[in-house]
Structure 1
């Protein structure tokens, strides 16, 4: 099961966070700062994460960090992250930190179409983008 998805830039600023299990707000800030430190240093042995395993990939200046349970397949999560970036790239044509920041609602829609309650429900790019294209048509018309 997927526990959370974060998008963080190189400066350590969280651009997107979606938690699929309840985490106290006071613990979120500490957790996110610890995860940023781990990802930027590129060493997994510096931090003890007893509740989940960490899967992350870097795309340009963005890190996409996913916390998963022990039963989840890491390779499938890597593929999910790559698919997520491809969908973002298809919709926005160029994914950078500012794109995420200024279109956070659309990024959340894309993520919600892919993952619900911590489980992957859709991977087809056209189906994932269908709600956004419908919203864009309504806004134009």
Structure 2
């Protein structure tokens, strides 16, 4: 099971965080600071997997953003890389070539897409088409003016 997912920039600015285990704010900040420093210090040609505490860290850089996930020791790193890639594909489909600014200015939509795709640290829906359809339907609900019924 995925413990958490962090998105951060090359400058170390946190852009998105999703925690699937209960931790105190202090512990979350400590983990975030530690992992951002660790990942940013690694060279581009180094492996995208590392062991950290009792977890495995899987990360991937897309443009100026790092997508970083912590998984349990028995979980598969390659599947986690695919999960990261699938999330990026979903963001790309929705935003049309997603960039850091899309995440900054539409963070609630980025969280919504993540929640449609992952639930409790596990993949909820594998079909990109179904996830995008659910997002489109939610967008349509938001566009309906208040007080009007069919």
Same fold (TM over 0.5): yes
> Which among 78, 98, 101 is matched to residue 98 of structure 1?
101
Q: How much is the aligned-residue C-alpha RMSD, in angstroms?
A: 1.7
Q: Tell me the equivalent position of 1:24.
A: 24
Deviation, structure 1 residue 86:
0.5
TM-score (norm 2): 0.86
Q: Tell me the equivalent position of 1:59.
A: 62
Aligned length: 139
- What CA distance in whole angstroms lies between the structure 1 residues aligned with 2:88 and 2:107? 14
- What CA distance in whole angstroms lies between the structure 2 residues aligned with 1:109 and 1:65? 18
Deviation, structure 1 residue 135:
2.6
Q: How does 1:1-141 map to 2 (within 5 A)?
A: 1-42=1-42, 49-140=52-143
Deviation, structure 1 residue 138:
3.4
- What CA distance in whole angstroms lies between the structure 1 residues aligned with 2:118 and 2:141? 25
- What CA distance in whole angstroms lies between the structure 2 residues aligned with 1:49 and 1:56? 12
TM-score (norm 1): 0.91
- What CA distance in whole angstroms lies between the structure 2 residues aligned with 1:117 and 1:52? 17
SS of residue paired to 1:134: helix
Compare CA radii of gyration and give the structure with the larger one: 2
| Cα distance per residue 1:4-41 (max 9 Å; x no partner) | 01100011011000000011100111111111111111
- What CA distance in whole angstroms lies between the structure 1 residues aligned with 2:62 and 2:41? 16
Structure 1: gaps of 5 or more residues = none
